[in-house]
Structure 1
Amino acid sequence: MHTRQAVELHGVTRRYGTGERAVTALDRVSVGFAPASFTAVMGPSGSGKSTLLHCAAGLDEVSDGSVLVDGVELGPLRQKARTRLRRDRIGFVFQAFNLVGALTAAQNVELPLRLAGRRAAPGQVEAMLAEVGLADRAGHRPGELSGGQQQRVAIARALATRPVVVFADEPTGALDAAASREVLRLLRAAVDRHAQTVVMVTHDPLAAAYADRVLFLADGVIVEDLHGPSGAGQIATRMAALS
């Protein structure tokens, strides 16, 4: 039986500009991300990693091909329906945390639910913060938290709606080694404990080693699809060969 993929890209091309100045950021990419899987997306600068993430999340229009999230094709959706789908079924974790500075940690975690017109179940927000080790920081604003703590709040926020997929764009890019390990451990636990699907863009082989699968991009195409846990050394060697 073919189980439905959390996210599917079919022949996705993304071009920027026109004529001779056109740049093809993604070139006929077809790939699926299974439920309860953790995929790292790697490649040299300009290889199309972030474009892949943005197209898969419906943040960027595709020039050709189709993207399905939870079986729903994004292309035909009007802006409002697409926004609703992103809000309900997709979680985001960015390098820059993107927390709302005026809100407390608890209010930031609750925000996606409120935007979706849903109320958090009693104790839900507290439980989410406890899961990322920040039960005692619920009333703190982002400015009162370290970078690692802010990113953990961002992870709790991304998981609040129990989305179909969480897209993480360089989630450890601004963090030191200890905070990075904590963030990656939480993403790994979301997959193992809650059957969450995580797709993470990273340039760090140590981060990619937490994933079940590593996709390598070069010049807008997938050049290697490494399944099964890989050591950071093996990943670094593959990356070096592409750079």
Structure 2
Amino acid sequence: MTATDTAPRQGTSAAPPVRLRDVTKRYGTGERAVTALDHLSLDFAPGTMTAVMGPSGSGKSTLLHCAAGIDRPSSGEVLIDGTDLSGLDENALTVLRRERVGFVFQAFNLVSALTAAQNVELPLRLAGARPAADEVHAALAAVGLADRHRHRPGELSGGQQQRVAIARAMIARPAVLFADEPTGALDSTASRVVLRLVRDLVDSRGQTVVMVTHDPAAAACADRVLLLADGRLADELPGGAGAGAIAARTAALEVGP
């Protein structure tokens, strides 16, 4: 698979692939209301990898879900490739997610009855397309699993299943790849393989990646690290900060000022 084959499709806007403008997300009403995101504004530049960290309940997963169009904010704007998601009905939003957004989950979310190749091509088939066999083969080759195309998830290791999930997320060449704890269910060796793969998607193919993680070593692979607390941006660390510095700053947020 060449860089051209896997490069994200160019959008029609010069804006960053993902923008959040004054985004607030509340759950519940009245005294029981919980604010998960509190007037958050962020840009995610093309061809960069951003890690999102923070204490439990800081809003990490809510940020990811709102930014990916899986959940709608209570107020504010989310734009993907220059398109304001608030202006889309559910059908249009589904199409945009399918065509412009890739998502990788901690639990892989592969269909156990399908082979690796069938799992990879599933998003295109759901969209009514008939992917060419060489396209699917190239997607699996890009994650080092060309020889496992006929294996079902139960015949693959956890790390291999996650790589199939990444190939599935990438086959439509999304504008942005969201990853929710992509190494959370993996051992250290498999985690390193998956992180190297994600980093290569950014460096070699210009993919934009936004990753939620609790692992400072995973976050250290990113170009920047966003630290959330109480639904707000508490701090931002540049790439190269190192796992130790990231862990120390995250721990400080856990105990407060």
Q: TM class by shorter-chain length? A: over 0.9
Aligned match of 1:10: 21
- CA drift of 1:226 comes to 1.8
- CA drift of 1:3 comes to 4.5
1:156 lines up with 2:139 in the alignment: no
Aligned match of 1:193: 204
Output the CA distance in 2 between the equivalents of 1:213 and 1:97: 25
Output the CA distance in 2 between the equivalents of 1:118 and 1:231: 43
Output the CA distance in 2 between the equivalents of 1:194 and 1:119: 24
Does the aligned pair in 1 maintain the 2:38–2:232 contact within 8 Å? yes
- Deviations 1:73-118, CA, capped at 9 Å, x for gaps: 0011000000000000000100000001111000111111112222
**Number of aligned residues:** 242
Q: Which runs of 5+ in 2 are unaligned?
A: 1-12
Moved over 3 A (4+): none
AA matched with 1:77: L
1:179 lines up with 2:160 in the alignment: no
Superposition pairs of residues 18-167 of structure 1, within 5 angstroms: 18-167=29-178
AA matched with 2:84: E
CA-based RMSD of the aligned residues comes to: 1.1
Does the aligned pair in 1 maintain the 2:143–2:197 contact within 8 Å? yes
Superposition pairs of residues 216-235 of structure 1, within 5 angstroms: 216-235=227-246
Q: Which runs of 5+ in 1 are unaligned?
A: none
Output the CA distance in 2 between the equivalents of 1:160 and 1:3: 23
- Deviations 1:46-81, CA, capped at 9 Å, x for gaps: 000000000001111110101000100001100000
Output the CA distance in 2 between the equivalents of 1:214 and 1:72: 25
- CA drift of 1:122 comes to 4.7
Output the CA distance in 2 between the equivalents of 1:74 and 1:133: 35
AA matched with 1:74: L
- CA drift of 1:185 comes to 0.6
Aligned match of 2:249: 238
Output the CA distance in 1 between the equivalents of 2:93 and 2:14: 24
AA matched with 2:62: T
What TM-score comes out, normalization by structure 1 length? 0.97
SS at match of 1:111: helix
AA matched with 2:202: V
- Deviations 1:15-71, CA, capped at 9 Å, x for gaps: 000000000000000001011110000000000000000000111111010100010
